[in-house]
Structure 1
Amino acid sequence: MEHLSHKRKLSIMFAIIAAMFFAAINQTLVSTAMPRIIAILGGMEYYTWVITIYMLTSTLATVLVGKLSDIYGRKPFILAGIVFFIIGAFLCGFSKDIIQLITYRGIQGVGAGIIMSSAFTAVGDLFAPRERGKWTGVMMAVFGFSSVIGPTLGGWLVDNLDWHWLFWIFLPLGIVALVMIVALFPKVERKASESIDYAGSLFLSLTIIPLLLGFSWAGTKYAWGSAQILGLFGSALLFAIIFIIVQMKAKSPVLPLSLFRNDIVTISNVVGFLMNAGMMGALIYLPFFVQGVEGISPTYSGYVTMPMSIAMVVLSAVTGRLVTKTGKYKRYAVIGMPIMIAGMLIMAYMDSIWMAVAAMVVFGTGLGIGMPIFSLATQNAVKPTELGVATASSQLFRNLGGTIGIAVMGTIMQSALVGNMKNAMESGSGFDVSKIDPETAKKLAPFQNPEMLLDQPRLQQLLDTMPANVQPILHNMIETLRSALASSLTTVFLAGTALVVLAFVLTLFLREIPLRTSNKMAEPETEASPSLETA
């Protein structure tokens, strides 16, 4: 599609951005409100599953669509992604319990994975790598803009309207995006010489599913050393071996192993995995600090995350233009990632809303500078015929990192919370309901669950109904819960920081090659020997 006129390219980009914004705003809209939704539906032990299932299905969709879109073109898959996302969002609004919500979020995840994979690959079809830097920044800015208005709007909606509207309010935008893609996106003929790798797709799916289930259930539903978890990890290993064998023999593999002989692709993907594991695993629990520890409503919780999004929007756009102007990209990753690390360290030790805001500004600055670089590096290092599958591999590793990171951080969170509550009881700083008469103790039972901290209206309502002589005990219980939750979050943020530090170290080994000025590439570019050149 590089041959299209500039005006036609802009029209197609507008349609792509509309589709991406539809998926992104629905995701950010829910993020701030999710603690309240979980408190209403119940099942805090399944909190991470609402996120994990979304990441699991989007991961599978991303990698499977990558190769298929190289064969059939991007248009049918972007359309299918929008349809899946609309259906999932519509059903989410009718959820009666946490299990239904998890199921319907899985459908949304399928749509999101297809949209994101196809959209980023389509940009690679439209623009040469040198010009792609600018558009990568624009697409990051779309995510940033949705992050600016999404959390705040989501918080306001859940405070003032029924929570179901969170999933329904932007459905008309999905219809608009669907119509725009149909009208503006060119159709690409199927590549007759390409075949579909059904066996590879099957065994890749059978590898990813037990792997992610194992990480999601380990330490929460089952012990890490339990037969169930070991069985899942063993199954993932077995299917991974079969998948590799199938890919070595496949005529047109769904995930060509030759991609990973390219050191740029391999390092970029591993960095993306580690970065997302640390970042997503930690940031998903930020609302727990704002709403649970500090007692801020979901509406104002969105204002806390807004500075991060604004910083990311501005810096990603600026970085994209600088990459296009200079043709250099590695330096921005080397600059941005230490800033991200600094932001996460502030999160680990924050003890006020203002420190949380400062953490968001610093983290968003680093994110805007460094995050767009690795997808660009991957796309620039492969042949145009491998653009879809290379982009899918990048998205796959990021999604795997995010999913595993959320699951592992959830385990760390739950384990730390149980330990902190136990320590509070043993040290005498907690509360001992055994010394209270049984009737009063029964009334106080809800206040022993940290989940209560996430539903401030209900908490205040219960406080108001309690007799005056019990109020001091209640306030002691609440403060103990908040202290235990705060300490647990510190552990989570530090664990996330450690992963991002490791990603930064690997970034230093990323080989930089010149950004091409067209989608035609010379083979020697990808075969050059590795170096530590930092631009």
Structure 2
Amino acid sequence: MNHLSQKQKVTVMIALMAAMFFAAINQTLVSTAMPRIIAILGGMEYYSWVITVFMLMSTISTVLVGKLSDIYGRKPFLLGGIVIFMIGSFLTGLSTDIYQMIIFRAIQGVGAGVLMSTTVTAVGDLFAPRERAKWTGIMMAIFGFSSILGPTLGGVMIDHMAWKWLFWSFLPLGVVAFVMIWRMFPKTARVSSESIDYWGSLVLSASIVSLLLGFSWAGNKYAWGSERIIGLFAAAVVGIVILVFIERKAKSPVLPLSLFKNSIVTLSNSVGFLMNAGMMGAMIYLPFFVQGVEGLTPTQSGFVNIPMSLTMIVLSTLVGRWISKSGKYKRFALIGVAIMVISLVMMAYMNSVAMAVASMAVFGVGLGLSMSVFTLTVQNALPPSQLGVATATSTLFRNLGGTIGIAIFGSVMNSAMTRNLEKAISSGSAVDLSQASPDTAAQLTQLLDPRSLMNQPLLKDIQSKLPEQDQSLYTQMMDMLRSVLGDTLSTVFLLGAVLVAIGLVLTFFLKEIPLRSNNEQQQNQSEEEHVDKLQKSAAH
């Protein structure tokens, strides 16, 4: 797209930003409301699956669309992603049970993966890495803005209207984004010499599914050492081995093995994997602390996320400009990842809403400084002809990190919660229901799961039915459950801090090469020649 004038590029960027905002607002809108929605539908034990299936399908569609968009151009995938996401959102709002929601969230995930990956890649088509940093910062700011508006608005909506409107209210924006992309985004000719790697795509998808199902079910639905879990992991390993043989011989591999010979790509993707794993632990389970332990409503919980979003917007915009001006990026990555570690440690020891707000603000600073850097390093380390597959691979590892992170955190949370609850009961801090009436005992027994703290309508209903003399038992039950849930979440957040800390160590080994100022540069060179020239220029 280098033939476009700067004015035309800005016009296309407006359309891309509309598409990005549409995808982002629909994801952030349900973040604080999802625990309440699952509590209404029933099946809280499948809570992590509603998130996991979205990430699973998003991951698969992301990696597949990367190579395909290099062949067919970005426009058809941008339009297709919007349509699929809209269909998934509409169907999700029609869910009558947890199983339907999981299926429809999978459709949503396909659309989200296509749309988000192609949007980021299209920015790379428009601008060279040096200038791209500025626009990437702006795109991150848009995501940050949706992170302010979404959770807060989602909390208000779930408190005052039917939950289905969380999935339906922004569908008209999808139509607007579709029309803008249709009219403003230029068509690109198909690369006729490229073929589609069908077998590689099939084996890669099967391997990802096996791997993520194994992590999602292990320690939750099945024991880690069960035959089913071992079988899934074994299938994933066999699939990866087969994939390597296929990709070696493929004319146009969906996942070129040469990418992993590049240390910058490998390290950047590894850090992105670990960052997203830790980040999802914070984003998914912070509402459990705010709503469960502290007893805030989803609306109030949404306000807790605002400081994080504000700091992320400001820092991502500024960092994009700083990187464009200096061409340097490693310092921002190091500082940002280190700050994320600090924020997760803060979350592990938070004991008040004020502490939650402070930790989220610090978390936003870390995200703003580092989040966009690692995609930029991957794009800059490879020739422009591999832009789509490079961006898709980067997004693949981030999504894998997020999905596996959610699964591991879910497993750790379930086991820690069981252990902490048994400890509370055995230590004598549990509520003695032997002196209560049969009706009161039956009502309070329903609450012997700390996750019931997320279902505030149920809590109010049970409390209203208890006689005055048994209200103290209800208070004791709530105190015990909040203590158990708080201790459990501390374990989850500390695990997140450890994962991100490993990412910080890897970031120290990341080579910094100059950001290109021209997208035509090195167009026909191989990856090794391209990186070698950049490294030589950095030495001088």
Interval of TM-score (by shorter of Structure 1 and Structure 2): over 0.9
TM-fit CA distance, 1:223 = 0.2
Deviations, residues 49-73 of structure 1 (Å, cap 9, x unaligned): 0000000000000000000000000
Matching residue of 1:102: 102
> 2:319·2:369 contact (CA, 8 Å) conserved in 1?
yes
Tell me, yes or no, if structure 1 residue 349 matches structure 2 residue 349.
yes
TM-fit CA distance, 1:369 = 0.6
TM-fit CA distance, 1:283 = 2.2
Secondary structure of residue in 2 paired with 1:336: helix
Matching residue of 2:532: 527
TM-fit CA distance, 1:2 = 1.9
Matching residue of 2:247: 247
Between Structure 1 and Structure 2, how many residues are aligned? 534
Structure 1, 57-66 or 363-372: larger mean CA deviation: 363-372
TM-fit CA distance, 1:431 = 1.9
TM-fit CA distance, 1:444 = 1.8
> 2:216·2:404 contact (CA, 8 Å) conserved in 1?
yes
Give, in whole Å, the separation in 2 of the partners of 1:137 and 1:439: 58
Deviations, residues 391-423 of structure 1 (Å, cap 9, x unaligned): 000000000000000000000101111111000
Give, in whole Å, the separation in 2 of the partners of 1:139 and 1:433: 55
Give, in whole Å, the separation in 2 of the partners of 1:174 and 1:289: 33
Matching residue of 2:474: 474
Give, in whole Å, the separation in 2 of the partners of 1:160 and 1:7: 43
Give, in whole Å, the separation in 1 of the partners of 2:113 and 2:502: 26
Tell me, yes or no, if structure 1 residue 407 matches structure 2 residue 412.
no
Give, in whole Å, the separation in 1 of the partners of 2:192 and 2:505: 43
Structure 1, 454-463 or 152-161: larger mean CA deviation: 454-463
Deviations, residues 332-390 of structure 1 (Å, cap 9, x unaligned): 10111111111111111000000000001111011101111000000011111100000
TM-fit CA distance, 1:530 = 8.4
Report matched runs for 1:11-160 at 5 Å: 11-160=11-160
Distance 1:487 1:60, change over 3 A: same
TM-fit CA distance, 1:288 = 0.1
TM-fit CA distance, 1:455 = 1.9
Give, in whole Å, the separation in 1 of the partners of 2:400 and 2:330: 23
Deviations, residues 469-508 of structure 1 (Å, cap 9, x unaligned): 2111111111101100000000000000000000000000
Distance 1:268 1:534, change over 3 A: farther
Identity in percent: 61
Matching residue of 2:387: 387
Give, in whole Å, the separation in 2 of the partners of 1:132 and 1:212: 32
Counterpart of 1:459, as a letter, is L
Distance 1:27 1:139, change over 3 A: same
Matching residue of 1:162: 162
> 1:331·1:534 contact (CA, 8 Å) conserved in 2?
no
Secondary structure of residue in 1 paired with 2:31: helix
> 1:444·1:474 contact (CA, 8 Å) conserved in 2?
yes
Counterpart of 1:169, as a letter, is S
Deviations, residues 123-182 of structure 1 (Å, cap 9, x unaligned): 110001110000110111111000011000000000001111000000000000001111
> 1:248·1:257 contact (CA, 8 Å) conserved in 2?
yes
Counterpart of 1:12, as a letter, is V
Matching residue of 1:430: 430
Give, in whole Å, the separation in 2 of the partners of 1:309 and 1:118: 23
Secondary structure of residue in 2 paired with 1:15: helix
TM-fit CA distance, 1:429 = 0.7
Matching residue of 1:506: 506
> 1:330·1:534 contact (CA, 8 Å) conserved in 2?
no
> 2:514·2:534 contact (CA, 8 Å) conserved in 1?
no
Distance 1:393 1:534, change over 3 A: farther
Matching residue of 1:295: 295
Deviations, residues 65-107 of structure 1 (Å, cap 9, x unaligned): 0000000000000111000000000001110001111110000
TM-fit CA distance, 1:435 = 5.3
Matching residue of 2:202: 202
> 1:263·1:530 contact (CA, 8 Å) conserved in 2?
no
Tell me, yes or no, if structure 1 residue 451 matches structure 2 residue 451.
yes
Give, in whole Å, the separation in 1 of the partners of 2:169 and 2:429: 46
TM-fit CA distance, 1:462 = 1.6
> 1:29·1:154 contact (CA, 8 Å) conserved in 2?
yes
Matching residue of 1:368: 368
> 1:59·1:113 contact (CA, 8 Å) conserved in 2?
yes
Deviations, residues 154-213 of structure 1 (Å, cap 9, x unaligned): 000000011110000000000000011110111111111000000000000010001000
Matching residue of 2:325: 325
Matching residue of 2:8: 8
> 2:42·2:98 contact (CA, 8 Å) conserved in 1?
yes
Give, in whole Å, the separation in 1 of the partners of 2:535 and 2:444: 63
Counterpart of 1:325, as a letter, is K
Secondary structure of residue in 1 paired with 2:142: helix
Deviations, residues 16-71 of structure 1 (Å, cap 9, x unaligned): 11111101000000000001001101111100000000000000000000000000
Counterpart of 2:80, as a letter, is A
Counterpart of 1:199, as a letter, is W
TM-fit CA distance, 1:220 = 0.4
TM-fit CA distance, 1:436 = 4.2
Counterpart of 1:527, as a letter, is D
Matching residue of 1:441: 441
TM-fit CA distance, 1:521 = 3.3
> 1:264·1:377 contact (CA, 8 Å) conserved in 2?
yes
TM-fit CA distance, 1:525 = 4.1
TM-fit CA distance, 1:449 = 2.3
Distance 1:530 1:235, change over 3 A: farther
> 1:69·1:388 contact (CA, 8 Å) conserved in 2?
yes
> 1:282·1:409 contact (CA, 8 Å) conserved in 2?
no
> 1:133·1:320 contact (CA, 8 Å) conserved in 2?
yes
Matching residue of 1:181: 181
Distance 1:461 1:439, change over 3 A: closer
> 1:447·1:474 contact (CA, 8 Å) conserved in 2?
no
Give, in whole Å, the separation in 2 of the partners of 1:148 and 1:208: 32
Give, in whole Å, the separation in 2 of the partners of 1:98 and 1:450: 20
Counterpart of 1:122, as a letter, is A
> 2:25·2:146 contact (CA, 8 Å) conserved in 1?
yes
Give, in whole Å, the separation in 2 of the partners of 1:495 and 1:209: 24
Secondary structure of residue in 2 paired with 1:448: coil
Matching residue of 1:265: 265
Matching residue of 1:308: 308
> 2:136·2:372 contact (CA, 8 Å) conserved in 1?
yes
Structure 1, 500-509 or 522-531: larger mean CA deviation: 522-531
TM-fit CA distance, 1:464 = 1.5
TM-fit CA distance, 1:527 = 3.2
Secondary structure of residue in 2 paired with 1:31: coil
Counterpart of 2:79, as a letter, is L
Matching residue of 1:223: 223
Counterpart of 1:15, as a letter, is A
Give, in whole Å, the separation in 2 of the partners of 1:383 and 1:42: 49
